[in-house]
Chains A and B, each alone.
Chain A
């Protein structure tokens, strides 16, 4: 049982994160030991506690809203290049995410008693590429090997499909999380889940509903007390109570928000006591609901889908607990959404199913789930075209967003003139599917050129054949060939290109590497780590070198998370390894 093979899926969410293992044909959520209720739902919070130690999840809650002490909703910053302040240091969002991932990884290792390496990580369907790359990087920093990034709605549908393999029909995943709203239409027939389209709003999520609540509470408080408030601080203080109020209103029609000593007037402390009614809150959220409605309309009209063609609506993400949101879904699809999957857990469960498929723990031949997915964004090149009589550089899509993958396309172009000696091919990304000009797309930094092209014999410009393919791992390959001259180039796009520059990666690593020094137990392992690091570069055996690198980073991460058990385990592993490498006994 202990060595039973398993696969791991992780939902790294804006507000909460979950990890799930797939073993013996079943996904199993792993509870968080830090949570009093042993819930598998871990708040995506990282903070610095009173002793200056980094804490994650529930443990971070008491400190997270103190100025400069904690980070919330770091997912929204992924890939933006923005930094967050944690204590006396500026951190990349990847580093903060890595800490959460690390916590999830340890929870599993503790529960299963085996190390976790390979995982499938979920991301919002409309996550931009930069954010996807940052997520990959976070996984790497946490010592994980990312088998695949999976779109969250696809994962949720897989969680459903895995359990209801015989079900057939069209389903919509209404994924309203902490940070984003994704609406995905899928069809399931014969145990195959076919993603038809995904449409989303990356700037609409539970956080916005929290902000509305904060504003509502503040407004009502100020109407009553007419007192000058330091807005920024007041908001910060109200974040946690607002979130509680929002959750409470899902089950009751009104809620009393109480914050003792909220502010001071004339030296006298004032408590905040505000009653919020559900109706009133719904009213304040009207603009958010309208944005969600328009998102649904666009998702359906993009593929000309009538609501009555939909057989099921799966609600996913914490924001779907809000009664007004449920009502919206019921109205738009003209049916009561059923609780067919757990909105908090479905994504991680589905990710674990995907991991199991990749690791071949599920045999597709035996009637289990198969899934087709779509490209999250488009890729294309720039070509000179004749527009209204003028030569213009246009973006030429080779694959559009929402195209079922794997995918291959062949196209034919011409050079501009018979004497053109060099042709350059630049690869761009397009997230909207609407880019027409290179400026409207994002340059990937990937380019290739065919040089020393002999002049055309006939004077007619040479033909250039382009073949472009995109595989299920998100890797793209472009081949450009001039049949007349036999010249050919190949350029590759892969999820690890154009990421952090090497320098930045190094720095990010350094940051995570140094965090351990703040641990209380750092002193115990100081010497050991320094010794190992000194040794690292001088080991000729590459495999050993890798093992050592991994062992050291494991120990450091354990120190960062202050997990006593894990520290001892990683420490022991490093001692054994060093002992072996140094060949103490052999000398």
Chain B
């Protein structure tokens, strides 16, 4: 179908604009649109291409280097998909050497620069692209990213931070103006404010995104999730629950595919809230997640663990004031509840070790019979706490009952004080191996933090739901934006 435009118009390749114009009009006279419509279309296409200098340059280049350019582009895309940004630059630069006006290649190069944190070059690329093609929203949003990403590790006192964020905002706003229905731009704008801890503005832009297309629908879904996160930062936990019900109401009852997707989104947000230790809120989302995808075993397991964490924490609130549990066992419980809830995540391994050693040492400061009765009490009255690591508690119970029997033979009726002595004594030399046993104990039972592991898998399984990934992985965000340049389009399914 591709005919040579120069041939069609019967002009040489170096024809002047005037020659091209003359040729077109002469041919239209010969093949008027009314009489020779098919012939006319070909003539017209040739004329429109060759009479527009930019289109003509592109056409010439593609005629000459089309195959090479396509090959290079394929190469670059493969490398980019494998995160090999450094290498991907080369084929892209080669394309641009042949066709300096190849916007798609330039955008890809910009994405490479972004991923390599080469902000100065990224800004140059997008300055050029937005000047040359100001109507393409993705160039503006990538431009904004070039400013936004720089602020990631910047301290609040850095005076450049607000300047960069302001620049980012002005670019995102241009993208928004061009594509007011694309929620991504509102999310980007909102994030620039999150970075400055201006949660009021962050909320404002998300709310703008929700009303942008004049209707509430599934495209507001993402933005509501984002809103939850902003509320979280802002400490508005009540609003999170409210937003959750807004989201839940939005999930169409019949669309299985969408319900599964929603389930994954809920699950991921639940996981995130969980990691931020907003357990009750996490559970709201996990419950919803389970509801929309009841067959998902990984999810069920995760939700169950979060539920048990919640139970354990609730039980711990009671346990704290229980006189039947001695102090060191309370500390032991606290250690598990906290560890299980991820409270030690910010601590170094040594610190955690030290905490654990302190806790274990504490166990030795009271009489083993006290420990025993306390642990028994925990097992019977606070099963959720005991259940966090039943074998660890079981082990303490076993050790304590042995020691209590043994020490019982030596110091009958001894109070806390003598027990204290005995154990301290044992600690020094004869019972040294016991310390080692406790260490081993830790390696075996403590601080493994299995929650969410399965979940990460689940997360990746939803790979096609780009948005999910995009939000979690800023690098993918750029990869995705690159994809936008070559919009994959689908025909809709039959309307519901």
Contacts and interface: CB of A to CB of B under 8 A. Distances in A.
Q: Do A and B come from one complex?
A: yes
A551 B355 CA distance: 106
B179 to A, nearest CB: 7
Nearest to A423: B491
Contact of A386 (B32, B181, B487, B493): B487
A183 B495 CA distance: 40
B489 A372 contact: no
Interface of A: 189-192, 194, 357-358, 364, 370, 372-373, 382-393, 396, 404-408, 410, 413-416, 420, 422-425, 436-437, 439, 449, 461, 464, 471-472
B25 A190 contact: yes
Interface string B199-223: 0000000000000011000110110
B35 A364 contact: yes
A472 B492 contact: no
Nearest to A424: B494
20 contacts: A190-B22, A364-B32, A370-B33, A373-B33, A383-B491, A383-B492, A384-B493, A386-B483, A388-B182, A388-B185, A390-B183, A414-B488, A414-B490, A416-B490, A424-B491, A424-B493, A424-B494, A425-B491, A437-B213, A464-B491
Contacts of B490: 383-385, 391, 413-416, 461
B495 A388 contact: no
B181 A370 contact: no
B470 A423 contact: no
Contact of B28 (A370, A391, A415, A464): A370
A370 B32 CA distance: 7
A414 B491 contact: yes
B21 A387 contact: no
B480 A389 contact: yes
B41 A408 contact: yes
Nearest to A388: B184
A426 B303 CA distance: 43
A389 B470 contact: yes
B213 A404 contact: no
Contacts of B483: 386
Contacts of B466: 386, 389
Contact of B29 (A191, A358, A387, A405): A191
A424 B185 contact: no
A449 B495 CA distance: 11
A471 B219 contact: no
A437 B480 CA distance: 21
Given A388-B185, A415-B490, 10 more contacts: A191-B29, A370-B28, A372-B28, A384-B493, A387-B181, A392-B219, A404-B44, A415-B491, A416-B490, A416-B493
Most-contacted residue by chain A among B40, B465, B483, B491 (CB, 10 A): B491
B181 A437 contact: yes
Contacts of B185: 388
B41 A407 contact: yes
Interface in B227-250: none
Nearest to A473: B34
Interface in B443-496: 465-467, 470, 480, 483-484, 487-495
Most-contacted residue by chain B among A405, A410, A425, A461 (CB, 10 A): A405
B320 interface: no
A447 B180 CA distance: 27
Contact of A372 (B33, B465, B484, B494): B33
A422 B494 contact: yes
A379 B124 CA distance: 37
B34 A390 contact: no
B37 interface: yes
A414 B44 CA distance: 29
Contacts of A390: 183-184, 218-219, 221-222, 467
Contacts of B183: 387-388, 390
Given A358-B34, A388-B467, A406-B37, A190 B489 contact: no
Contacts of A372: 28, 33, 40, 44
B41 A389 contact: no
Interface in B31-59: 32-35, 37-38, 40-41, 44, 48
Given A383-B489, A389-B466, A194 B28 contact: yes
A190 B40 CA distance: 16
Most-contacted residue by chain A among B1, B34, B184, B465 (CB, 10 A): B34
Most-contacted residue by chain A among B467, B489, B492 (CB, 10 A): B492
Nearest to B221: A390
Please list the 7 inter-chain residue pairs (A to B) with the smallest Cβ-Cβ separation, ordered nearest first.
Answer: A388-B184, A389-B467, A189-B25, A406-B37, A190-B25, A384-B490, A388-B182
Contact of B492 (A386, A388, A408, A416): A416
A30 B26 CA distance: 35
Contacts of A414: 488-491
Interface in B367-403: none
Most-contacted residue by chain A among B22, B35, B222, B494 (CB, 10 A): B494
A471 B37 contact: yes
Nearest to B35: A364
A536 to B, nearest CB: 37
A439 B214 CA distance: 10
A423 B33 contact: no
A364 B33 CA distance: 11
Contacts of B21: 189
B157 to A, nearest CB: 33
B492 A424 contact: yes
Given A388-B467, A471-B37, A436 B179 contact: yes
A375 to B, nearest CB: 12
A472 B370 CA distance: 98
Contacts of A420: 493
B25 A194 contact: yes
B144 to A, nearest CB: 13
Contacts of A388: 182-185, 187, 222, 467
B148 to A, nearest CB: 15
A415 B493 CA distance: 8
A407 B40 CA distance: 9
Interface string B1-26: 10000000000000000000110011
A192 B28 contact: yes
A464 B487 CA distance: 15
Contact of B494 (A385, A392, A423): A423
Contacts of B1: 410
A353 to B, nearest CB: 13
A391 B490 CA distance: 9
Nearest to A407: B41
A413 to B, nearest CB: 5
Contact of B26 (A190, A357, A404): A190
A317 B101 CA distance: 44
B488 A386 contact: yes
Given A384-B491, A415-B491, A424-B494, A406 B40 contact: yes
B474 to A, nearest CB: 13
Nearest to B181: A437
A194 B22 CA distance: 12
Given A189-B21, A406-B40, A472 B489 contact: no
A387 B182 contact: yes
Nearest to B37: A406
A158 B466 CA distance: 54
Nearest to B40: A406
Contacts of A464: 491
A377 B434 CA distance: 87
A469 to B, nearest CB: 8
A178 to B, nearest CB: 30
A192 B491 contact: no
B181 A392 contact: yes
Contacts of B184: 387-390
A480 to B, nearest CB: 8
A189 B23 CA distance: 10
A190 B29 contact: yes
Given A192-B25, A423-B494, A387 B179 contact: yes
B28 A422 contact: no
A191 B32 CA distance: 11
Contacts of A191: 29
